[in-house]
Structure formats: structure tokens, C-alpha cells
Structure 1
């Protein structure tokens, strides 16, 4: 049933103090913290709970049992909760999981804070914008979030801000990680044991990792720190009302420009959830899409969009891999999938390289037998033919990759907008992603790919295989509702509050002014906690409808 055909009055739920859209990391953190402070919280999630019981038949069949239900591409998965995203004008395809836990259900668990320099790109390098707060402002929230997500790691990395402890000891570096660490020692390049949201012992709601290497297909042991495991069981005990299968169609505002709640569809019925505060945590595609769908006579270009920047400045972290194939056998799938080790050797700007900013590397397992035939991380080159068996035998258990996360600078022409020709399964406009990789990012990736080849050759690789930029790697979708101090040049302030609508708060990665070169979940979660605690502290001054 199309949303436009629903003419009956919306079913009205009991008014909440806070309504949150999205049950991923940002929404889960906000919901739990509001509930701890005594607020009545309703969270609307268009997907359902992940079903781990049917996705892993047995350890030896993990790759085969992952299949379509666990595919990170919505256009492949085509679950009822997935909305279409037109990527015909994008260099990168988005990877999104719509459901309780959000895309963290399928992330690798790699856990990296931003560096201090990431908050000061304009000051240091004269490009993009500074964040409206510093690393030091966010550091106490990182500490608390790492405890909540069950992070394992080894403190003391001298290339990084001083981290004094992690909740758990790190996962094993494995033979491949130790081999690459030794190569970097010989080269004089930085490396450090990996930090991951993967429990190495029984911890709160998480079980100890048994190193299946299935982190990106949903962890059946609940070792990985995804919010469906780490946050939602506790949030529900605190009284949060989590409504799944709820597709939010618009945020409503009154004549004074204050948010009054949201309208959503569930089971073919249009419903209204009123609240004093509306919190958006629907990711870098879903949040601008919802704001644009909420356009009205007073806001013809979408809500919270007086700056004209809703949907713009999209950043995608273009991703490359370099695989080394070795004579030595080291079974790299017997590990955490996250990052046994990482390197920040080429993270900061060095203008002699011809570009600004840099990239983070992490050792990436290449997987089991089925993964040997996939496009990722093998550069998309077909292997079928006379040499098929030899190629698989060479790769399987004999290969390891550097994954390269490149900082992506914000550009207004990279954007999310509503698709004028397609709708989702309830009649709401689909999203359209328009994204072109900048020359700075291309140059950055090319440089780092060459250095990663040097690293693998130093480690003894007999062959290196390059995937210079992989299309199906859009895990990180950032920047489409940017934060800043100037309302004419940003959508929200440093606390995630809309400049236009004071009781509309955005807490997901769409708020990022720059992308850094780090995996974003830790900072998304830390920012959500910081924004939520500020809203709680300021509740007596909060304007409402």
C-alpha cells in the first residue's frame, strides 16, 4: 500500500519524552542513556532482530551458510526493511543493514578512535572544516563506549593519543599478523596490535571469541560488540519501547517550527508517535532521506535545511586492498576478522606526496575456500578456467591482505537525494546516491597501495594483487547533515541539535564534518553518548512543541 494512499487518521501512540528513529549504534546508545536518566523512550526500527539461528549451520560451512540473508548489499539482500538506493551515479555502493543493531551487525568489529588531527583538518591542512569540538572533548566518552561495546586491545600505541586501558586483552595477532609486524619492523614503519569490539573473554552480554572468522556474517557466538548484543537487552530492561517493522515516513513540526513527533507505517497502518524530542539515528542515507521526505509548505526543501546542506557533503571512505600470496601456509581465517594488527605509518598529511590527509591500514584475512573465488579482495579478476585449481590452491591459506581506509574530503556535489522515479515497498521515495571519488582520494589511495605492496614484498610475498578501489565497500556513509557553529554552513550544532528545529537531534555519522581515515563506529557511538548527555543536562531549557 503506498503511503500517499493512506487517508485514514494515523493511529496515535502514547506520547513519549523521546522518539528515536533507528536502532543501530547511535540509536542504541541514545536510547539506553535516555532510559537510564528516567525518560520514556520509544525507538522505531524499520527492520527486525537479526536471526543468528538459521545463518550458521556449522563451523565448516560458515561461508556457504552466510548467503543472501547476510549479504551487506541491500540490493542483493532485498529484505522487506531495505529501501532502494539508486547508485547509477556513484563510484561506491553502500553497505547497510536495516535492523536492530544496524550495520554494526555486519561490521568487522574494527575499533579505532579518531586522531586529534582529524578534528582540525582546516587548521592543519587548509581544507574542509574543523569539527566544533576536539579529541580531548570526546575522549571521556570514548572510554565509556569502549566499556559498553566490549573492546579488546593493547594500550600504549605511541602513534596514537594516550589510551591507558581497554576492557579486555587483544585478540591473537595470528601468524599473518606477526609476519607483517616483523616486515614493518625491518622497514621502520609503524604497526600495533589491533583493537576490536570483539570479546576475548566472557564479558557482560558477550561470549568469548572462538575465532571462527565470521564477524562480518553476524557473530553466532555474540562475541562481536554489535548493539543488538551490547545495548538493546539492557535498554529493554530499562523500559525502552522498541518497535520493529516500523518505517518512518516523516518528522512532523508545528507552526512554531518545533518537532511534534514522527509518522510511521507498520503492518499497513499509518501511526503517529508524538514526543517532546525527536532523535534521528538512521545513518548517512536514511537521515537525509527522512528530512527530505518531511518537506512541507514552510520547508519545501526538507526539514532542518535552511543551510541547503541536507544530503550534501557525502563521504564514503573509498577502500582498497593489496593481497600478498606466500609460499608459507598460515591459515589466516583462524582469527578474529577485525584487525590482528594495524598501521598508521601514512596517516598524517605529508605534502611532499602531492595530496593531503592519509589512510589507516589493517591486516585483513582473505577467508576460506569460497572467498578465493570472490571479487573481494582479489581485484575483480576472474579466476575461472584452466588455472582455477592452481590459483585456489596458491591463495587458500597462503594469503593475507592490507585493507586501506582512505580519508575522504567533503564535497557538496557528492550527495543523497530523493529518487524521483522509484519508491520502496510502502510507497515512499527511494534514495539516490551521487558520488564521485576526488582526485585527492585517488592519489592518496594510489600512494598507499604502492606502500602496501612494499610491505607485503618485504614480508616475503611471491605475488601481490591490487584492488585499487572496490565498489562494493561503502560501509562508512558520513557527512550528509554536517555539524558546525554557523547555521548557514551546517545542519546541526556540536551537540547534534538542528539549528532550525531545537528539539530535533541527529546523532549518527551524517553529522561528521570530515571523514577521518578511521572506521567510524566508535566515534559515532561516542558522539551519540555526548549529545544525549548534553540533552539530558539541558532538559529544563529544552524547547518543545
Structure 2
């Protein structure tokens, strides 16, 4: 083990091997490299060129339906692997490449609220996290500074703390109209907090309000982590190997991680050794890799003595209400995610008929295809041909949607396992999902969607259309290698360290104990930042296979 300029390194001067170049992988790589560690990151995808994004192209909506679709089963890029979600109520979204799924995320940047970490204590369900909001708060604030987060301070949904480092983005006319309805009903709302620059920083431009965040930001304003974090990580000395598909974490005779075996783009098997291995492959890729790494010592998967690897998959069910208005709302303008949002109903109120809550947010509906997609449950004759044209003419620029993302409570039998029959292009078993939305989540969606209709009506909507739940919204892949103090009921501790393999770590969304109702990336990166700092500070006590 080496640190801060010490002379001894192993395997090409490597101290740490990280699998996955997304937000948690690059955040931890940067922190460790800046602390003096020699770090290598394996990424099965490649760099994405901003010029290749479909966001500024007239056929953007068609490209998003095909080669730029967030569902890897539709996109089928060389770096993707299939996901068998035939038995899942929600389909998987992810992007394999440098920056991970942040390439295509909408950059909504909420934090979990304090009660989210204490669900067992407060509501008698699920489990508490082994850390608190207060433990993560300084790391939330640090990551905001590192990537350039915009927003307004003083949000009533959170305890006091530092305001976002950049001013908020405009809420636009749709925000003004949505806020009008919220005010009439007495509901809390706040301007959106975004991982998007409102002012240029370095070589990244400020937001130009394309409203195409989820198909790649052409300005570099959005903090996709290829542009927001990787340049600093590389400057700190991180080695990045792309086109490297990990197939197994290797272990010594004593049960310590020794590195990873991976397949390059030519199909050649390679091995990278390191005395510390960190897995950051997302809530599906991480349990898949740990299960692929089974052996006689770890027959049920690496680090899986608890049986919790691949269990408790959480995916944040979402429902939306499309609303159309008489006035011009310029609803082709961004940002795409949460110009305004609300945590009015984020806490438990058992009188609603379910526990925990929901995050509400508005979003523009910028294109004609997107308008017709929102109305897909209408009879075909009402949304195709001349009738479809009339709908677009009526609604274009005059509509937006409210959405409710409900807290998805952990269910032990919602799983990620290895498919016994199907493999990826390198012959590696693909992940198989079994995910059934709970009755509690269904009740939560029904209750919240009724309220969203009321808000649209209070804002003056002349037409509303419900989408009771959106199966094509599986962005948030959480809980499948959860953290905890008890090795019998968790996979890693509160710093992401495996209970079974003391030099193996998990820093991605797999560690989540509960899902909250909010987008998870700010919490994923704050956790990774805190965990990497702890690893660096305790390097002298780290067990390694040397």
C-alpha cells in the first residue's frame, strides 16, 4: 500500500482499482489520486463526443427512440450488455461510458432529507442507514462545489446549510404557472437545484436552455461527469482504461481481493492487479459482477455471506400528469428537469393510506413526438394522422407535466441475479431482474397523481392527461449491495467496505438502504466522496493481499 509519495507500488504502480467510470467511480478516483494514491479505473464504454449528441439535431426525437435510447436493450451499443427485465414492472435505463448514466440524466440534484436515513426509527419499516444526513451534509456541499451546482439557498425542505455555488436557473413560464397553482393550494415549492451551470466555469458553458438534458448537453453546462469531474481526475494522475468489460473480481487464497479480470474490445482476457478494489458499476452491474465473482470460498457471490447481494432492488416508480393551457408557455425551453419542484408530500402521513412520500417536479414537453408519447394511452385514431397533427398544433409550447416519484421501499424478493441462459457479446451471463412494484407504491402513485391533477387545474389547465405509472423510467438502480452495521443484513459498512472482504468496496447506488423519493446521484457522489476520504485517512490500517 502506498500513499503520499511513498516508493512502493504494485502492478504498474497501482494502489487502487476502480470498476466503473460513472459519478461514484470518478469521484472516488479523484479524491484518492489527490491524496497520493495511484488509481486505475476500468470502464467498459468509451468517451462520448459532445458533437455526437442528438440534442441539437432536427431528428433528435427519432434518435432518442433508437441509437440514443436510455434503455440498453433498445440502444444496443457495443459497450452495452442486455438486461433481462421480462419479469420487471420497470425497465432499466443506464448508459455505459465515461461519465456513466450522467451522460443522459436530467441533472436534477436534490438531496435526501434527514428522515430518509431513519425510516425504521420513524416509521417502523425497512431499516435505518448506518449514517445520517448530518454525516453527509458537508460532502453534499463539497460535491456541489466540485461540479458546479445551481440553485437557490434556504430551501425549506432541508436543514440550514451552504447555498448552491451558482445562481438558480430560470423557472420559465411553465414554472410561473405551476407555482401559481401550488400557491393557490398552499403547497410548498422551490426553484430547482441542478447539476447544471448557470454561469460558465472553466471550459464549460452556462445553460442555454435547450431542454434536451436527457439526450446530452451540447454546451457542457450539465455536469455529466465526463466533463464535470474526469478532467480533474486525469490531472490528478488517474489512469482510465476504456473498452474494458470486467468479468470477475479476483481473490487470494486468504479471501482478499487481488484485482479484476476483464475483456478488451478484441475479446482478449486481461487482468489488472491492485491491493484495493472498488466496484462502482451501478445497482445492476455491481451485484452482477459480485455474483460473477463466486468461488469455492464465496459460493453465493463475492462478499455475499449475508445473502443480500442482488436483493432489495429499488427503482423509484413515477407517475405523471400532462397539462395543456391556453396561453403560450414557451415549454420548449429548459432546463428539462425540475424548473420547480416540491417536497410537500415527502414525509409519511399514514392518513394517505401509505408510508413515506413523493417528490414532485415539473418538466417541459419540448417536442411533438414527446407530446404524442405523453398521450399514448389515447385511442390511436385520436393521436395519429390528421388528429395527431391537430393535437401537436394545439399543445406545442402550451404544455408541461407534473410528475411524482414515490419512495420505493426495499423488498427482499426484488432481485438482480445472473441469467442462466443469456449472455452478453463476450459470453458473460447477463443480469436478470425480478421487480414487482409493491401495493404500497401503487397506492402512493394513485394518491399523488390525483393531487397533481388538482394542481394543474388550480394553475388553469384546460386539458389534463394522466399516466398512472411509467414503466420506461428505470433510471434509479438502488439497494442491491446495501450498507449497514450488521454483517447479517448488509453487504458493506457505512463507508462502503465489504464485511466479508476487507479490501473490497462498493461506492455506487447499490449501497442504498432506502431509496428516498428523490433523484439519487447527489447522495451517491456524497457517499463516494466521504467513503474515499475515509479510505485515504485510514490507509495505514488497510488489509491488503501483499
Calculate the TM-score normalised by the size of structure 2.
0.95
In the alignment, which of 227, 230, 237 is matched to residue 229 of structure 1? Answer: 227
Partners of 1:31 and 1:500 in 2: how far apart?
23
2:499 match: secondary structure: coil
In the alignment, is the contact (CA less than 8 A) between 1:379 and 1:470 conserved in 2? no
- Secondary structure at the counterpart of residue 321 of structure 1: strand
RMSD between superposed Cα atoms in Å: 1.5
1:451 alignment partner in structure 2: 451
In structure 2, do the counterparts of structure 1 residues 369 and 46 end up closer, same or farther at CA, with 3 Å as the change threshold?
A: same
Distance 1:522 1:456 in 2: 29
Q: Deviations over 1:81-130 (max 9, x none)?
A: 11111111000001000000000110001000100000000000000000
Report the counterpart of residue 19 of structure 2 in structure 1.
Answer: 21
Please tell me whether residue 303 in structure 1 is matched to residue 310 in structure 2: no
User: What are the within-5 Å matches in structure 2 for residues 14-93 of structure 1?
Assistant: 14=12, 16-56=14-54, 58=56, 62-64=60-62, 66=64, 68-93=66-91
The whole-number CA distance in structure 2 between the counterparts of 1:155 and 1:114 is 16
Q: CA deviation at 1:145?
A: 0.4
CA–CA distance in structure 2, aligned partners of residues 27 and 273 of structure 1: 16
Between the aligned partners of 1:377 and 1:248, the Cα distance in structure 2 is 41
1:4 counterpart residue number: none
After TM superposition, the structure 1 = structure 2 runs for residues 105-124 of structure 1, keeping only pairs within 5 Å, are 105-124=103-122
Unpaired runs of 5+ residues, structure 1, are: 1-11
Aligned residue for 2:530?
530
Aligned to 1:7: none
2:496 alignment partner in structure 1: 496
By how many angstroms is 1:331 displaced? Answer: 1.8
Q: What is the rounded CA distance, in whole Å, between the counterparts of 1:303 and 1:395 in structure 2? A: 53
Which of 382-391 and 323-332 deviates more? 382-391
Q: CA deviation at 1:172?
A: 0.4
Name the CA shift for 1:152/1:438 in 2 (closer, same or farther; >3 Å): same
CA distance in 2, matches of 1:69, 1:510: 27
Question: Cα distance, 1:69 vs. partner?
Answer: 3.0
The residue aligned with 1:315 is 314
Deviation at 1:204, TM superposition (A): 3.2
- Counterpart CA distance in 2 for 1:77 and 1:159 is 37
Q: Which residue of 2 aligns with 1:431?
A: 431
- Could you give the per-residue CA deviations for residues 25-63 of structure 1, whole angstroms, max 9, x where no partner exists? 000101111110111100000000112213348465543
**1:120-269 counterparts in 2 under 5 A?**
120-266=118-264, 267-269=266-268
Is contact 1:320–1:405 with CA below 8 Å preserved after alignment?
yes
CA distance in structure 1 between the aligned counterparts of 2:113 and 2:203, rounded to whole angstroms: 29
Q: TM-score, normalised by structure 1?
A: 0.95
- In structure 1, how many angstroms separate the alpha carbons of the residues matched to 2:490 and 2:351? 32
Deviation at residue 276 of structure 1 after TM alignment: 1.0
Q: State the 1:373 CA deviation.
A: 2.4
- In the aligned structure 2, how far is the partner of 1:35 from the partner of 1:169? 30
Conserved? CA contact 2:147–2:223, under 8 Å: yes
- Give the CA deviation at 1:366: 1.1
Q: Residue 433 of structure 1: CA displacement?
A: 0.5
Contiguous gaps of at least 5 residues in structure 2? 1-9
Q: Is the 8 A contact 1:362 1:403 kept in 2?
A: yes
Distance in 2 between the 1:234 and 1:377 partners?
Answer: 43
Structure 1 range deviating more: 234-243 or 420-429: 234-243
SS in structure 2 opposite 1:489?
Answer: coil
Runs of 4+ residues deviating >2 angstroms: 12-15, 54-69, 376-382
Q: Secondary structure at the match of 1:69?
A: coil
Q: Does 1:441 pair with 2:434?
A: no
Contact 2:55 2:216 in 1 (8 A): no
Counterpart-to-counterpart distance in 1, 2:149 and 2:159: 17
Render the CA deviation track for 1:433-457: whole Å, top value 9, x for unaligned.
1000001100011100000000000
